Amino acid sequence: MQRNLYMLIAYDGTDFHGWQRQPGFRTVQGLLEDSMQRVVRHPVDLIASGRTDAGVHAAGQVANFVADTGIACDRLLHAIGSRLSEDVSVITVREVHPNFHATQSAVSKEYCYRIHNSPHRPVEQFSQRYAYHYWRVIDIDRMREAAGHFIGEKDFTAMASTGCVRESMIRTVLRCDVERFGPEVRISVEGTGFLYNQVRNMVGTLLEVGRGRWEPDAIPDILAGKDRSQAGPTVPPHGLCLRWVKYPPNLLVPPAPRQ
């Protein structure tokens, strides 16, 4: 009995070599698939909403796989989760529509980047694994103004890593918020899809605006130039977290039983 199963996953990416299975490296996909195959007793191809890089975290990664098993979802959740290490957790397992595809069905997703903006390291807050320490003084209002220029359907070539080649470099950013919580600055970006390192390069560019190197209205010219070297630096991966992925509700329910 083949079923399309949805998984909601969280992980601390610090000690993983990214999401994607790679021979000889510890990856989230590799760890999960090894556990799942022991439970369902056949090879599993786990499809994720997107591939996070080494050091990047996830609070709401979504994946799906087709399993030929009648094991109830709550039992699968326990059986798979009990075989995992402490830095990854399966939060939900449920059957969904056969057409659900974690990558292709995604409507939008949100990444959050955390910055510890203080002369002192973030050890006191125990967030050194999850927040980038940026000691320079930054102006949040300038960063908010600059962030507004990222919103919309635009060519983000200047924000993609050098060598990133896609059929189209146009992506749609729905929201780009900059907020301060004491010494911590959080940049939340929601979009329909992202280029390789796009969010980390957007954050690096906003920091250059925040510290006064560029004016907020420099962003449109940077994007129009389509030149990666003219944008800000790529910030480290450990400040980035995939918060959630949104899907059409009709694909998140199992098929109606046959009469």
DSSP string, 176-204: EEEEEETTEEEEEEEES---TTHHHHHHH
* Percent of the chain whose pLDDT exceeds 70: 98
Distance CA 91, CA 253 (A): 17
Which amino acid appears at position 1 of this protein?
A: M
Which residues, including other chains, have CB under 8 Å from residue 93's CB and lie 6 or more apart? 5, 6, 7, 73, 74, 76, 77, 80
Please report whether residue 125 resides in a domain.
yes
251 within some domain: no
Percent of the chain with pLDDT over 90: 89
What confidence tier does 19 reach under pLDDT thresholds 50, 70, 90? very high
- Among 83, 105, 127, the domain-final residue is 105
Same domain? 201 vs 88: no
Do 113 and 101 share a domain, yes or no? no
Map tokens 């699968």 to a residue. 76
The pLDDT confidence band at residue 125, using thresholds 50, 70 and 90, is confident
Q: Is residue 183 part of a domain?
A: yes
- Token pair recorded at residue 5: 């199963």
Quick one: 63 exposed, middle or buried, by C-beta within 10 A (0-12, 13-18, 19+)? buried
Pick from 117-121, 160-164, 199-203, 225-229: least confident: 160-164
Q: What does the pLDDT look like over 151-194, one tens digit per residue?
A: 999 999 999 987 676 778 999 999 999 999 999 999 999 999 99
Do 84 and 165 lie in one domain? The reply is: no
Band (259; pLDDT cuts 50, 70, 90)? low
Q: Which of 53, 68, 177, 221 is catalytic?
A: 53
Residue type present at position 146: A
Domain of 99, in residue numbers: 2-105
* Mean pLDDT value across the chain: 94
Strand partners for 7: 63, 93
Domain count, the chain: 2
Per DSSP, which regions of the chain are E strands? 2-11, 47-48, 57-68, 88-95, 108-116, 132-133, 152-155, 170-181, 184-191, 240-246
Rounded CA separation 249/61 (Å): 17
For 173-192, give one letter per residue: b (16+ CB within 10 A) or e. Answer: beebebeeeebbbbbbbbbe
Higher pLDDT, 70 or 142: 142
CA-based nearest residue to 172, from 218, 101, 106, 112? 106
Which pLDDT band holds residue 94 (cuts at 50, 70, 90)? very high
Strands 57-68 and 152-155: unpaired
Between residues 162 and 75, which one has the greater pLDDT?
75
Taking residues 120-136, report their average pLDDT. 92
Q: Do both 154 and 88 map to the same domain?
A: no
100 and 143 share one domain: no
Q: Are both 65 and 178 inside the same structural domain?
A: no
Give the residue with greater pLDDT, 123 vs 58: 58
Together in a domain, 72 and 195: no
Same domain, 45 and 117: no
Per the annotation, the verdict on 53 as an active-site residue is: yes
pTM for the full predicted model: 0.95
Q: What is the pLDDT of residue 165?
A: 67
Q: Are residues 143 and 96 in the same domain?
A: no
Q: Per the domain annotation, does 128 fall within a domain?
A: yes
Whether 16 shows a pLDDT value over 80: the answer reads yes
Is 30 part of a structural domain of the chain?
yes
Any domain includes 250: no
Q: Are residues 239 and 138 in the same domain?
A: yes
